[in-house]
Structure 1
Amino acid sequence: MPGLDHVKQSVRADADLCVKCGLCLPHCPTYALTGREAESPRGRIALLQHLAEQQDDLSDPSLATAVDHCLSCRACESVCPARVPYGRLFDNGQTLLASRAPQRLSRLRLRGGLLHRPRLRLGLLRLLWLLQRIGLLRALQRALRNRSPGRWLQRLPRLRWPRDPRHEAAGTHCDVAIFSGCLGDSADHEAVGALRRLLDAAGYHCAVPRGQGCCGALEAHGGDAEAAESALAHSAPAFTGARYIVPVASGCAAWVADATAASPTAAPPLRAQLTSAWELLAARASSLSWVQTAERVAVWTACTQRNRLRDDAAMLALLEQVPGATVQRLPAGMRCCGAAGMHFLDEMQRADTLVAPIVDALAEHPPAMLLCANVGCRLHIDAALRRAGLAIPVRHPAEWLAERLQDSVVG
């Protein structure tokens, strides 16, 4: 892992690229929310530049707040004429903040302990499943409604019994290995199975290897670079022998792509084979046949997919192949939904304000379903729709597609 001096040097070099033109401001969701310069990309770059040049402890809490409010949506990066690598700058800035305020790392590692301990996570999820089924979860929500745990519980979807989707031995030789992520056994379980069915139908030999774990994205974006790199290193051997590796969640895919591109020595199997499931499926689209449907579905493209991976066009083209279906992409002008990793749990009021335009648009013309390829966005939008009284299912695009597959003829 690079030392702190290297991180400071990287922050200064990246910040120096910013020419302060302000072209990013209209695209920044937090600047649109507050109108404050400190809550704009340009303002945050200046704050991080100052932080990299100071040697004293973090004395102004407003600096950390302004940086923490960033959604890391990277819309600014996609329009920047100077090509400032804002995603890397943000993550390195969080590392600097954590070095000045160790309690930040303590909170992050407490959460990470759950993500990186699958048995503990499964046990907790199964307990929550049971509490939902017997009706005690609502009473618990009411009892804790004025505390963070109660508000978190209110955002839980209707849980299914958590099951481990990983079956093949680590290092299985296959065409495509699915990176299921830390929620592949729960919130993304159906998506993992659906993606596998699609890839199998397209003629790929597909596997979900054992030995993989959390990708480390939350740690990376929270300032614990060491833990994030350790998570990748832990998972990498599981994918040895795979021709391609496809993460289910776009948030995982974006972080793994960033990490492996930044370091020539980081997780070699991931660096060499990481690709987009949508592009693999698009390459064999003629092998897939679909059941006719008259459904109208809406699509929300997550920021990581739209601004970093840029594979949304391939996904939309595949969705539009389903005969009779009407596929409506929600306008990107709505900016970020506000999920942003743990932001929708840590900054609930701000996140609810950011998701409101999406809820309003869906309420005006309710679709049969909303599709989104990132698990955090789905959980956040689903909770917002339920609070608004809108019974619109929110699912991974792979789930909708897999349910509309006919027998495939592989050429």
Structure 2
Amino acid sequence: MPAMARPEGTTPTAPRSRRSLRKATVGNVLEWYDWNVYAIFAPFFAPELFDAHDTGGALLQSLMVFAVGFLTRPVGGLLLGRWGDRHGRRAALTLSMVLMASGSLLIAVCPTHAAIGWPAPLLVLVARLAQGLSAGGEFGASSAYVVEIAPAGRKGLYSSVIYVSNAVGNLLAALLGVILTASLTTEQMHTWGWRVPFLLGAGLAGYAYVLRRSMDESHRPGRPEAERDRVARRPAALLRIIGYTLAGTVVYYTWVVFLPSYASADGHVPEDSALVATTVAQLLFVVALPLAGALADRVGARRLLLGFSGAFALLTVPLLALAPRSFAWLVLVQCVGMVIFSGYGATAPLVMAEQFPAHLRATGIGLPYGLTVSVFGGTAPYLAAAADHTGNAVAYSGYVAVVSVISFAFFAGLRPSSNAWALGAPGDHLVKSG
């Protein structure tokens, strides 16, 4: 088969590609900082914004809002994804930043439950719905953008930046948590200290917005045949995105969101120590991701994805049983889990991007990804907490193992790819900002 001609703009010069990557990365970091700070600080603000008379119930209610906020993610994947396919990735990514920052600001200034009653949790819910729209559109648009600007032979490495940004954003939230809990008393953290990270996130979002406004564009829409095409005509590709996402989202939200609260709620690990454990695991995750991406460029994504899903199918039950026993066990379990997960985090955006041509890519990734994260990822912390509350923690571990087996079957069906031909569809152009 003759080699396909390289379309204009699909392999930009290395300096321009790196500059575009840096701008996208900083924006992603602040985007995911704003998203993850809710889960990190939930134990502190839950009694203030929900019900101070039942601390355990307030935490469960805050996790329910965390889950409900995921309902708008598929809507965001559809709307912002379609906007990005029609008007360019930059337009979708700047809108995503505005929505995320607005949600953070609303939570930061929200009156307490003691002051205004039920409107307090309602305002938190509205904020999380807006942030859900943002997060739903963010993954598809940013995955398409980063992979489209990547030079040939480095698409796995560039793809890893998506989860590196996620991890760094989560790490910043966790580090801020460590600093605040060390600097403030427990009473101060519960009364006003938890507002600081939300205010900081809203302020930094202005900087991220400016960066995203000045990014080079990776996709020039407008071809007539593209206007007639729809993602609905590609059901097999949509189903594959769901299968690829299933284990990834359940594992991620179990390890990053649930485990720290789980260990501290059981009384074996203090809240500040659980934040330290999360910080250590996220640091290791940031280091492991680009290494996994570079490895994928050499051996292919399929092997790493099979290793990820197979390992969690076998190890989830013992790992989750060991995590709450002590601080040392929590650190070990979180670190092992995040290193294994790096095989997925580094390659999933690339593999998903290969399923669709450029004019459908952001929507094709964002819609099924957002739907799967909404149904399975958003509910994971609540299901895990409810299972532990009723003494059925092992059943939840089995659930994680089962979804890992399902994703393993989808990854086994991946065919070898150059990781380039599907991303060089005619019409992709790196367009300078302004």
Greater relative CO, 1 or 2 (CA 8 Å, sep 6+): 2
More helix by share: 2
Structure 1-normalised TM-score? 0.27
Q: Identify, as 1 or 2, the structure richer in strand.
A: 1
